[in-house]
Amino acid sequence: MATFFQSVRQGFGRGGNNKNPPKSPAQAPVPQGAMSNSHSMSNSLSIEGLTANDPDSPKYFFQEKYAPLNVRGNFLTLCACPKNVELGEWLAHQIVEQYRLLHGMLQVIQEVNGVTGFPICNESTCPTMSAGRLTYTWLVDGRAAKISAPKFINRVEKWIVSKIHDPVMFPTEKVVGTPETSSIKDAAAAIGAPPATPTDPSNPTGSNGNPDEWIGKSSGFPQTFYKDCQGIMKQMFRCYAHLYHAHWLNPFWHINKHDILNMCFVHFVTVAKYYQLVSDKEMEPMQPLIDLFIKQQRVPPEALNGGHWAQQPTN
């Protein structure tokens, strides 16, 4: 019998060369002050004399009128762990789903222009992995090094896929014994058995300091699983930050897909905050947009300040 995570991961892959970004886009109106006479989608469009990925260029995506979503509804319904699913398996599912959504957005800037032979995000347009004035580095021979955005993103994607397909970190074989799901806990409570203490996210390797308990243990996930999920989500956030700061105008605004980017990002932020997977400090490059989505309750209030952990019973 397959585990929950095994069933949702079936067929998952990076997608190889099967890239299907939005086709035949209608040219959307350019934000006031932007120039619409770009000669190539692989070149940075100009805004008031500045390139679109210039750190000093206007951040239109931080303005409410440029921050629509292409869907309605509460993303909490997609991120809250069902009672009959073990938390480790659910977090693994969330990681896979968030990477699937991010990968779709990254494909848009990785599509090679048939005229120039280069993708929109290339060594020339994005010589560093930047998010405004912030530059992310990659460890090269044990040292932090600035590398181009396409190289950084490529390494992040390969690293995430290797993690997801690692049978130690993301096991798919059924664990001997029955995982203690929330439903089992509820049943135990009904007959008077003491409930298990939920794992504290600030100490994910143990419950109340118990090193023998950790998130996902009952489903066969390793002791480092929660920390590994945090590491993956942090790198995915950095990719989103680059997409907005360097490529919101070109291509997302110009192919009228900025609302889909917003949808993916709101979903990501909801999961990240609900399970405390990305720190507030890490999110600072996108904080104005996150604050806007919080104000609009697109990021639901229940997700803030680690909503999952706040809803757990206490002894």
Per the annotation, binding residues for Zn(2+) are 121, 126, 242, 247
> How far is 73 from 78, CA to CA, in rounded Å?
10
- Residue 290 neighbours by CB under 8 Å, 6+ apart: 269, 283, 299
Per-residue tokens: 228? 């590994």
How many Cα atoms are found within 13 Å in the side-chain-facing hemisphere of 182?
16
CB 278 within 8 A of CB 272: yes
CB 61 within 8 A of CB 259: no
Q: Are strands 46-47 and 134-136 parallel, antiparallel or unpaired?
A: unpaired
Q: DSSP letter for 266, please.
A: H
Q: Of 278, 304, 286, nearest to 67 (Cα)?
A: 286
List residues forming the annotated binding site. 121, 126, 242, 247
Could you give the C-alpha distances from 221 to 244, 281, 308, in angstroms and in order? 33, 28, 19
CA angle centred on 157, ends 153 and 255, rounded to 5°: 60
For 308, the enclosing helix (H) or strand (E) is helix 307-310
Long-range CB pairs of 60-63, under 8 A, 24+ apart, other chains included: 60/31, 60/248, 60/249, 60/253, 61/244, 61/248, 61/258, 61/289, 62/288, 62/289, 62/292
